[in-house]
A and B are shown apart, each in its own frame.
Chain A
Amino acid sequence: GAGVSQTPSNKVTEKGKYVELRCDPISGHTALYWYRQSLGQGPEFLIYFQGTGAADDSGLPNDRFFAVRPEGSVSTLKIQRTERGDSAVYLCASSLDGTSYEQYFGPGTRLTVT
């Protein structure tokens, strides 16, 4: 079956602009996660959705970052007033149900802020 998909695969934007990153999880997976991975580092947790609600958004670095999952499937990560330090690979993962299950990752979106 289809895995987790993310669009776009690459995004280059200018400092100060707004960007949206999309994640389409595996069908039937109720849990969805966003991570940020900088070069040479492990995935850094941003936010976790259980269904439509954000069960844990403690990893969002500041109020420029926001994510939604309005219908409990597709999710969008939104970054306002982008800064060069936001440049990273943004990973999305889904799992069957909650944090006890293995996560399946998408290919990521490489965001470059110039």
Chain B
Amino acid sequence: AQKVTQAQTEISVVEKEDVTLDCVYETRDTTYYLFWYKQPPSGELVFLIRRNSFDEQNEISGRYSWNFQKSTSSFNFTITASQVVDSAVYFCALSTYKYIFGTGTRLKVLA
């Protein structure tokens, strides 16, 4: 069975703080893909990153970074020096033969 768990329902931070959003997944497949999406208040889901199961190299894109660890089945997302515009719901997703989304983490960045 496939499953994605985002245990943090809601996180509040003050602007400029760093914040990490957790994602734990379950799958028996050896080939799979992991994704993060952002859903701002406007409602439209925006793609952030895609990772395949054979590439455990961490990635940094500006203030965003992702840590993929197969040993713990985790794909965590860190925002450095958070800004108010980062306020949104963030979804982690797992894809093998189908896409499964987590329940999302609502991030509130306070000025």
**Pairs A–B under 8 Å by Cβ, sample size 23:** A33-B99, A35-B101, A42-B101, A42-B103, A45-B98, A56-B97, A56-B98, A89-B43, A91-B45, A99-B96, A99-B99, A100-B33, A100-B52, A101-B50, A102-B50, A103-B35, A103-B47, A103-B99, A105-B44, A105-B45, A106-B44, A107-B43, A107-B44
Question: Among residues 30 to 50 in chain B, which have CB atoms less than 8 Å away from a CB atom of chain A?
Answer: 33, 35, 37, 43-47, 50
Task: Flag whether A62 is at the interface (Cβ < 8 A).
Answer: no
Residue among B91, B95, B104 making CB contact with A100, cutoff 8 Å: B95
Q: How far is the CA of A104 from the CA of B35 in the complex (A)?
A: 12
State the Cβ distance, A21 to closest chain B Cβ, in Å: 15
State the Cβ distance, B58 to closest chain A Cβ, in Å: 18
Number of B interface residues at 8 Å Cβ cutoff, please give it.
21
Question: Among residues 26 to 41 in chain A, which have CB atoms less than 8 Å away from a CB atom of chain B?
Answer: 33, 35, 41
Interface core residue of A44, A102, A104 (most chain B CB under 10 Å): A102
Residues 91-111 of chain B, each 1 if its beta carbon lies under 8 Å from chain A, else 0? 100011111111110000000
- Enumerate chain B interface residues (CB-CB to A < 8 A): 33, 35, 37, 43-47, 50, 52, 91, 95-104
Residue among A56, A99, A104, A107 making CB contact with B47, cutoff 8 Å: A104
Q: How far is the CA of A100 from the CA of B32 in the complex (A)?
A: 7
State the Cβ distance, A45 to closest chain B Cβ, in Å: 6
Q: Is the CB of A42 within 8 A of B97?
A: no
Number of A interface residues at 8 Å Cβ cutoff, please give it.
23
B52 nearest CB neighbor, chain A only:
A100
What residues of B have a CB within 8 angstroms of the CB of A25 in the complex? none
B106 nearest CB neighbor, chain A only:
A40
What residues of A have a CB within 8 angstroms of the CB of B91 in the complex? 42-43
Task: Flag whether A49 is at the interface (Cβ < 8 A).
Answer: no
Q: How far is the CA of A105 from the CA of B45 in the complex (A)?
A: 6
Question: Among residues 75 to 94 in chain A, which have CB atoms less than 8 Å away from a CB atom of chain B?
Answer: 89, 91, 93
What residues of B have a CB within 8 angstroms of the CB of A56 in the complex? 97-98
Q: A42-B91, A100-B52, A102-B50 are in contact. Are A108 and B44 (CB under 8 A)?
A: yes
Residue among B44, B46, B97 making CB contact with A99, cutoff 8 Å: B97
